[in-house]
Structure 1
């Protein structure tokens, strides 16, 4: 599959490695010059090449919109109509930033929307899917969970069934287990889950320093639930 990564940062670089290893072809782009992509390109080999945001959007049948939320509008301007008809997997969280460069969840925005719904409104001819936004980037590799009996899930949401199916396969190619949460509006719940993980990090563990170690997984009881007479 041809994949365009519209911003190859902490998340995009990790997924690039996994998807090249799974045999996909990539064009990787960067929203800024902050990070030199040359070492990553050498690591990825012949299956990946560098391009502008527009070139990556034109190349991919699937686009990874892994963009810093305050920069979403700028990247959308660079994409233009190149996303029309394509699957766009977006990984954003609605994080605002203060003048002191302190990040915070935009809870007012989250009351009635999600970054996924915003992106779909800006790309009406694309098929937008939410995924990869809960797991911190340093744990977005299977090797991070090598000693864990339970691996974290990647939750995804979208209105288009075929786009969901392809996203599901790319989640598996990245080494994780996908969980379908339903239509596009379910992205709101996935983003709220990210807030919950922050709360758990702050109140159960050692604050944000621990956040990069946390994942979430849904497990089924095995051998199964215990029912008792007269009780549920």
Structure 2
């Protein structure tokens, strides 16, 4: 499958490695200095090439929209109609930034919307999927879970069944367990889950820096739940 990555940052680079290893063709773009991609391109060899934001959007049958939320308007203006009818997997979280460059979750925005719904409104002809937003980049590699009892789940939501099916396969190709979570409006709960993980990192693990160690998944009881007769 042809995949364009906008933007190839901490998340995009890790998924690029996994998808290249799975045999997909990639065009990598950087929202900023693309010279920073030289080591990754050298590592991937003929499995990936460099392109502009627009070129990566035009190339991909699937496009990973891994953009810093405050930059969305600029990137959407750059890609214009290049994403029409394409599957767009967005990984964003609704982050704001203060005057002294401290990031925060935009809780007011999260009450009534999500980055996925916002992107779908800006790209009405694209087939938007929300995925890969609940794992911090340092643990978004299958190798770090090799000794774990189970692989983390990656929840995804979309209003397009075929886009969901293809995204599901790409989640598996990245080494994770896909978790279907319904229509695109469910992105609100996925983004709130990210905020919940920040609270767990803060209160259980001693500080927000430990967020990069955390993941959630769904585990099935084995052999199954124990049902007992209800006593009235």
- Alignment partner, residue 8 of structure 1: 8
Question: 1: CA distance between counterparts of 2:189 and 2:40?
Answer: 33
CA 1:70–1:225 in 2, change beyond 3 Å: closer, same or farther?
same
SS at match of 1:165: helix
Question: 1: CA distance between counterparts of 2:139 and 2:206?
Answer: 17
| 1:145 Cα deviation after fit | 1.1
- Alignment partner, residue 203 of structure 2: 203
SS at match of 1:28: strand
CA 1:35–1:191 in 2, change beyond 3 Å: closer, same or farther?
farther
| 1:229 Cα deviation after fit | 2.0
- Alignment partner, residue 191 of structure 1: 191
| 1:34 Cα deviation after fit | 7.2
Question: 2: CA distance between counterparts of 1:20 and 1:37?
Answer: 15
Question: 1: CA distance between counterparts of 2:228 and 2:79?
Answer: 58
| 1:230 Cα deviation after fit | 2.1
The answer to whether 1:131 aligns with 2:123 is: no
Q: Any unmatched runs of 5+ in structure 2?
A: none
Question: 2: CA distance between counterparts of 1:27 and 1:10?
Answer: 16
Q: TM-score, normalised by structure 2?
A: 0.98
Question: 1: CA distance between counterparts of 2:36 and 2:203?
Answer: 37
Deviation by residue 1:121-164 (Cα, 9 ceiling, x = unmatched): 00000000000001000000011111211221000000000000
The answer to whether 1:171 aligns with 2:171 is: yes
Number of aligned positions between the proteins: 232
Structure 1 vs Structure 2 CA RMSD: 1.2
Q: TM-score, normalised by structure 1?
A: 0.98
Give the 5 Å matches for 1:140-179.
140-179=140-179
After superposing on structure 2, the runs of 4+ consecutive aligned residues of structure 1 that deviate more than 6 Å are none
Question: 1: CA distance between counterparts of 2:84 and 2:136?
Answer: 29
CA 1:2–1:146 in 2, change beyond 3 Å: closer, same or farther?
same
Question: 2: CA distance between counterparts of 1:207 and 1:178?
Answer: 28
Question: 1: CA distance between counterparts of 2:72 and 2:110?
Answer: 16
| 1:231 Cα deviation after fit | 5.2
| 1:227 Cα deviation after fit | 1.2
The answer to whether 1:77 aligns with 2:77 is: yes
Question: 2: CA distance between counterparts of 1:148 and 1:64?
Answer: 27
Q: Any unmatched runs of 5+ in structure 1?
A: none
